[in-house]
């Protein structure tokens, strides 16, 4: 009989190349941490099988519900999600055990002929066709083009990273926009022709971060997984997701958010304290945007608050997100999101 402390831990993951890559990285970290082998369990979600655009099927939760069902059924010990895919309401019977150090949260442009967005839009005789399945990206790309006195055509697309880049390689689109983190995790970030500054395109709340989730009853596993948690990343994404939740918007809504901490506060370990040559940072800067998909109207606002004094202080980033959302709603954000999530 296998001892419960030595048997392989079962990690639930989606089947896509990106999901397998990021889950494989987490599996290695968990093995190094616990000494236990980690087995990847591939699970197909509704978001993987549906051919409809995410905005049509609700976006929120379509990639995570099957993984969560497997957790609750005891078929897997923990699951790895892209945090931006998680609904903002956390079920009581599941624990968000760890949010590791975040990868680059920015969006990346992959364009024909190595072009940047500014170069793509420079030719007045041709309207660049840019593929994305995200209303958030559509809103900001269209607004960016308008600010340059130009126009782009945003084309709804679905598919994995290979499929999306293939639209450009085959000449069907002039460019596509993808998350830089995903490209990095599968080793294709060098194909990006431009990393989009958050000053012009804010990422999705939680973009670039992973969520490691387990059943609440599995307290021993949760405690070990918690050692992979990065408090600065958790504070930042908590503020971003609080904004999203307070706007009553799902993850397919045209909402962007990014919370910034100074690089000197991004310590890789939560237990070392500031290094001798670093000064601990006390401020967290949160930016949010809501817009119409044609880019004609954007509500963009920001706020600054204190970095939580301890990993247990979730109230500070939660309140930051709620307060910024209230200000954005007062400026008319609700009317720009279409049908608000229930």
- Residues 90-120: tens digit of each pLDDT: 999 999 999 999 999 999 999 999 999 999 9
Find residue 13's DSSP bridge partners: 42
E runs forming strands in the chain = 9-13, 38-42, 78-82, 94-98, 107-111, 128-131, 152-155, 175-179, 194-196, 210-215, 255-260, 283-291, 298-306
Rounded alpha-carbon distances, angstroms, from residue 227 to 84, 158, 222, 291, 311? 21, 35, 9, 38, 12
Question: How many residues make up the chain in this entry?
Answer: 342
Residue 333 DSSP symbol: G
Reduced 3-state DSSP string for 297-332 = CEEEEEEEEECCCCCCCCHHHHHHHHHHHHHHHHCC
Query: Per-residue DSSP letters for 36-74?
Result: --EEEEE---HHHH--S-HHHHTSTTTTTHHHHHHHHTT
Locate 183 and state its tokens: 């490209």
Report the pLDDT value the prediction gives residue 44, as an integer from 0 to 100.
81
Residues lower than pLDDT 50 in the chain = 1-2, 48, 50, 53-60, 263-272, 274, 276-277, 339-342
Report the pLDDT value the prediction gives residue 310, as an integer from 0 to 100.
85
Locate 200 and state its tokens: 């012009």
Contact by Cβ (8 Å): 121, 200: no
Report the pLDDT value the prediction gives residue 110, as an integer from 0 to 100.
98
Catalytic residues: 84-85, 136-137, 158, 164, 251
Report the pLDDT value the prediction gives residue 278, as an integer from 0 to 100.
52
Distance (Å, whole) CA 84 – CA 81: 8
Compute the C-alpha angle 68/241/93, nearest 5°.
Answer: 30
Report the pLDDT value the prediction gives residue 61, as an integer from 0 to 100.
64
Contact by Cβ (8 Å): 136, 249: no
Nearest to 286 by CA among 305, 299, 267, 265: 305
Report the pLDDT value the prediction gives residue 270, as an integer from 0 to 100.
44
- Half-sphere exposure at residue 265, Cβ-oriented, CA atoms within 13 angstroms: 20
Distance (Å, whole) CA 41 – CA 92: 24
């Amino acid at each position: 009989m296998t001892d419960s402390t030595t048997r392989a831990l079962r990690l639930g993951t989606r089947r896509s190349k990106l999901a397998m890559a990021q889950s494989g990285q987490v599996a290695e970290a968990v093995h190094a941490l616990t000494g236990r082998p980690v087995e990847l369990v591939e699970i197909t979600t509704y978001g993987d099988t549906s051919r409809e655009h995410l905005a049509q099927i609700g976006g929120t939760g379509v990639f995570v519900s099957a993984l969560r069902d497997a957790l609750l059924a005891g078929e897997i010990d923990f699951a790895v999600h892209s945090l931006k895919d998680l609904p903002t309401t956390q079920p009581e019977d599941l624990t968000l055990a760890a949010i590791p150090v975040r990868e680059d949260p920015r969006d990346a442009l992959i364009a024909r002929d190595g072009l940047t967005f500014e170069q793509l839009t420079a030719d007045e005789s041709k309207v660049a066709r840019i593929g994305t399945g995200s209303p958030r990206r559509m809103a900001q790309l269209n607004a960016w083009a308008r600010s340059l006195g130009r126009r782009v055509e945003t084309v709804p697309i679905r598919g994995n990273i290979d499929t999306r880049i293939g639209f450009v390689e085959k000449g069907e689109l002039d460019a596509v926009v993808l998350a830089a983190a995903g490209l990095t995790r599968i080793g294709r970030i060098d194909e990006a022709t431009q990393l989009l500054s958050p000053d012009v395109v804010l990422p999705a709340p939680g973009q670039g971060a992973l969520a490691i989730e387990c059943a609440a009853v599995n307290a021993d596993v949760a405690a070990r997984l918690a050692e992979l948690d990065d408090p600065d990343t958790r504070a930042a994404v908590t503020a971003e997701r609080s904004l999203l939740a307070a706007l009553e918007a799902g993850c397919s809504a045209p909402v962007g958010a990014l919370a910034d901490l100074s690089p000197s506060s991004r310590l890789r370990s939560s237990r070392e304290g500031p290094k001798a040559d670093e000064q601990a940072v006390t401020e967290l800067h949160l930016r949010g945007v809501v817009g119409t998909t044609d880019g004609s109207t954007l509500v963009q606002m920001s706020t600054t608050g204190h970095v939580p004094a301890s990993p247990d202080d979730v109230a500070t980033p939660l309140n930051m997100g709620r307060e910024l959302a209230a200000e954005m709603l007062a400026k008319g954000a609700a009317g720009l999101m279409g049908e608000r999530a229930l």
